Structure 1
Amino acid sequence: MKQKFYDTAVKQEKAVLVGVVTPNVTDEQQKEYLEELQFLVETAGGETVKWFTQKLQRPERATFVGTGKLEEIKEYVTAEEIDMVVFDDELSPSQLRNIERELGVKILDRNNLILDIFAGRAQTAQAKTQVELAQLQYLLPRLTRLWTHLERQKGGIGMRGPGESQIETDRRLILNKISLLKDKLKLIDRQNETQRKNRNQMVRVALVGYTNVGKSTIMNMISKSDVFAENKLFATLDTTVRKVVIENLPFLLSDTVGFIRKLPHHLVECFKSTLDEVREADILVHVVDVSHPNFEDQIRTVNETLKELGAIDKQMITVFNKIDAYQPVQNHPGDEAHVLTLEEFKNSWMGSNNSPAIFISALLKENVDEFRKLLYDHILAIHSVRYPYDHLLY
């Protein structure tokens, strides 16, 4: 008898991306947004095969893009057997329903995709609870799309009522679950607050920054610990706190979840408890990937998020990381780009506008000693004020 073999490998889902270029967004910005969305798809385990963009004054109310563009997307999706279409902005429940009905494949928006990545990355009870709460809050107004199969049935006698009552039942169950998760988070927050009070005697430093800028690599380098670091968005989701000692001066260093533009509102709300480490830190170390072509936009995104968290006025050190991969902008095509030296970095606008600033390569351990010294000086200054009789020890 011939033995049968079955392919058990998980098939990589093929995706197309869709973005709208509004008057306040340049073509270059839209390109960067879709590159980031593509990175999110790859982080989630998918493969992007094509982008679709359309210039509009504002997204169409019914289908996000125009009917002609939607038809173009449909033809491509059908011909290439695409598994999912991912939109770069949040879709309303009606847009989601209309697009799904027209294209006949799985439809995701940026928020849904980020939630899916967070769900896969969450490790601790707190992170898992926060993600589940965000997912339910996202799902609640979109419940009707789960019951569209009722529309296909003929003869509405006895059908419309059960459908509606089932949706109401599900809505009530989700609201109850949301309430339970919020209570659970309050309990976890109280436990974490107790832990933070026990750690209050030491100066606290928090690493903040855009996602995938090298915060976890710096955490490992400074604390000599083994925090998970990977070239993927949101590689670190759970806040990690380590006790670190530099020249006999102890302090607490925390690695927090990376920020990202267009971060889902539900996630910002849910993760505010995790980001208490940011709000309660004495010093923020803002890590910037200086090799990213749009690192200035990333700096603005992080500062806006810090402002929302009420932490923008904290003492801050800016760390421009990945100087080994920095690619200067060419003023004229054909000109040779001059790679800045460390001294030139310090004297550049980046150094003067973000003082105190340090330029390092965490990967190559370049300028790390100077970074440690800068960090030590700032921690010692706070420690000396907080514990005036201890300064003679350091």
Structure 2
Amino acid sequence: MKRNLTGNTSGLRNTQIKRIENLYKYSTPPEYIINPELALLLVELSHDTRRQIGLLIDRNGKIIYVVVGESHRIVIPITAGFMALPGKLKGLRLIHTHLKEEPLTRDDLTDLALLRLDYITAICITPGGKPGTVYSGHILPDEDSAPYQTIAPGTIHQLNIDCLAQILALESELTRKNSLYKPESGTENAFLINATTSDPKKAWALMEELKDLCKTSNINVIGTAIQRRKTIDPKFVVGKGKLSSLIIQAIQKYATMLVFNRELSASQIRSITDFVEMKVIDRTQLILDIFAKQAKSREGKFQVELAQMEYLLPRLITKNTAMSRLIGGIGGRGPGETKLEINRRRVREKINRLKKEIVKIRKQRHQQKSRRKRKDLPIISIVGYTNAGKSTLLNTLTQSKIVAANRLFATLDPSSRRLRFPKDTEVIITDTVGFIQNLPKELMQSFHATLEELADANIILHVIDISNPRYQQQKESVEKILKNLKLNKIPTLYVFNKIDRIDLDSFDDKWLLNQGILISATQKQALKPLVEKLESMISIKKLGVDR
């Protein structure tokens, strides 16, 4: 079977291309980095073409790829079938030429560390076209030092170093170290990256929230990085050089995933996933994954799948390694890797089917809502940032058992319960999906009708977790979403939850606390002032209507 060259062959004569292609016919003993005869031929061809030429050789000594570079560099192709998993090396070593006397370059060592090559070797060429000094390097398994080690320079006659045994020994040590960091079954080790053009303080707050999202999705965070930039790099977000160093850090910590705290464009996904051999996801996909896990109702599941499909559609990349990592999600939830072959037409068809199903369900819900309206019961809607305590408050007020947990987006499906006030006034109180800063637009679109139900509310109960250091940001994020939904005109009552977790005497923002009711949603007796205030607001509203 004929195997083609990779790299830059433009400008080469047909005879030169044919001779380089013939390299595929050779092999080298596994104990050699490369045998001297093959090294001589490689040098001869490189000197003749005035280009670097590289060989990617497997552990059996078979040449898997022949790569033609430029005069000053070589670009390693995507190596299908050779993936460096955590604790493993790639299974390929790179032997290439340098047209002048120079040691392994920064690019060489970066490729070694990023791609987890078994070995990297550069054979220098003398001005007369003869083999010169040979430089080699390999991965180091120690995360506290440089990720690689260069070995003493030699000649092409010093390449019988029991290469395979050395590679297997290195990999054995990597495997041992990886076992110390290996996450529990069903989890991932993630390295988080936040590139920002805004205030560093805000960037750190967003990073903390990203950590919370990872925790909710059962992802183990093993490292973080924040980079402040004037502009976000259109290809690599943080720039190619910075991304290289961050990936090397992540690999040294045995990460299995990179998580970016922003939505990645299709071109960024393509560039980054072609650059790194690990799973890459963005903040939007992380949130979608959490929603996919938490959705319980039929409508909720349809809404989340619709959001996933709408996120996926512009990112469909044909014959690109990006999709195998992007579509796979985190824990296999959602569209999944079986969708790799989906083309745009089929995704659009799926989107249309989901929209029709959601319309049917909404019609049924609209009928239920009409019956409820005929009973003319006032409606109080609870809103708030995710994990602020909305479901807990509804449970305590109505003695219900709605799922409430100390994690983000524990409740996705809206719940409604009746509540009777002490003066015999009866109301409907509803809980909604939790909000979050920069809620993905796909989710906003999918949940738009659900959120629109808030328009029927007589009172909005805005629950704020006052014990959260980011409570001010969270409050503003919820208010921004309410304004976008044109719900900011509905009477709103601030409810400051979890006051049992703060020291009120030393709390700085006392002015804000005076604008609402202080509660601990788990303590029924502490809700009496809230109930009285709500009953008063409903009575005033009824009087206004009656007049």
Instruction: Specify the TM-score bucket, using the shorter chain as the normaliser.
Output: 0.7 to 0.9
Equivalent pair of 2:459/2:493 in contact (CA under 8 Å): yes
**Whole-Å separation in 2 of the counterparts to 1:280 and 1:55:** 43
Shift of 1:12: 2.1
The count of aligned residue pairs is 348
Match of 2:520 in 1: 361
Q: CA deviation at 1:373?
A: 0.6
Q: Is the 8 A contact 1:18 1:87 kept in 2?
A: yes
Q: Distance in 1 between matches of 2:452 and 2:438?
A: 21
1:203 to 375, 378, 392: 378
The answer to whether the 8 Å contact 1:147/1:167 transfers is: no
Higher mean C-alpha displacement, 372-381 vs 298-307: 372-381
Specify every segment of 5 or more residues in structure 1 that has no aligned partner in the other structure, as ranges: 1-8, 151-165, 329-337, 389-394
Question: d(CA) in 2 for partners of 1:239 and 1:385?
Answer: 29
Alignment correspondent of 2:530: 371
Contact 1:360 1:366 in 2 (8 A): no
Name the residue aligned to 2:419.
244
What residue number does 2:205 align with?
32
Identify the residue that residue 492 of structure 2 maps to in structure 1: 316
Which among 36, 58, 61 is matched to residue 234 of structure 2?
61
C-alpha displacement of 1:366: 5.8
Structure ranking higher in helix proportion? 1
Distance 1:124 1:132 in 2: 12
Whether 1:349 aligns to 2:521 is no
| Structure 2 counterpart of 1:191 | 364
Counterpart contact for 2:388–2:497, Cα < 8 Å: yes
Q: Higher RCO, 1 or 2 (CA under 8 Å, sep at least 6)?
A: 1
- 2:265 equivalent to 1:92: yes
- Does the residue aligned with 1:65 lie in a helix, a strand or coil? coil
Give the conservation status (yes or no) of the 8 Å contact 2:223–2:250: no
Question: Would you say the 8 A contact 2:222–2:253 is kept in 1?
Answer: no
Deviation at 1:318, TM superposition (A): 0.6
**Structure 2: distance between partners of 1:262 and 1:364:** 32
Tell me, yes or no, if structure 1 residue 382 matches structure 2 residue 541: yes
Structure 2 residue aligned with 1:302: 478
- Unmatched runs of 5 consecutive residues or more in structure 2: 1-183, 323-338
Q: Name the CA shift for 1:220/1:168 in 2 (closer, same or farther; >3 Å).
A: closer
> TM-score with structure 1 length normalisation?
0.83
CA deviation digits over 1:163-212, x for unaligned, max 9?
xxx99961101101111111111111111111111111100000001111
Superposed CA offset, 1:95-125 (max 9, x none): 0111111121110100000000000000111
CA distance in 2, matches of 1:234, 1:149: 31
Q: Counterpart in 1 of 2:407?
A: 232
Please state whether the residue corresponding to 1:81 is helix, strand or coil.
coil
The correspondence of residues 81-230 of structure 1 with structure 2, limited to 5 A, is 81-144=254-317, 147-148=319-320, 170-200=343-373, 201-230=376-405
Kindly state the Cα deviation for residue 365 of structure 1 after the two structures are TM-superposed.
4.1
CA contact (8 A) 1:238 1:257 kept: yes
Find the counterpart in structure 1 of residue 454 from structure 2. 278
Q: Which amino acid aligns with 1:100?
A: T
Deviates more, 1:39-48 or 1:372-381: 372-381
RMSD of equivalent CA atoms: 2.4
More off after superposition, 319-328 vs 172-181: 319-328
Larger Rg: 2
Instruction: Describe the SS at the equivalent of 1:58.
Output: coil
Aligned to 1:213, the other structure's residue is in SS state coil
Q: What SS does the aligned partner of 2:448 have?
A: coil
Determine the C-alpha separation between the residues in 1 that align with 2:289 and 2:518.
34
Deviates more, 1:288-297 or 1:207-216: 288-297
Distance in 1, Cα, partners of 2:275 & 2:483? 40
Q: Deviation at 1:367?
A: 3.1
Corresponding position of 1:260: 436
**Partners of 1:206 and 1:283 within 8 A in 2:** yes
Kept in 2, the 8 Å contact 1:254–1:277? The answer is no
TM-score for both structures, normalised by structure 2: 0.61
Find the residue that maps to 2:495 and give its secondary structure. strand
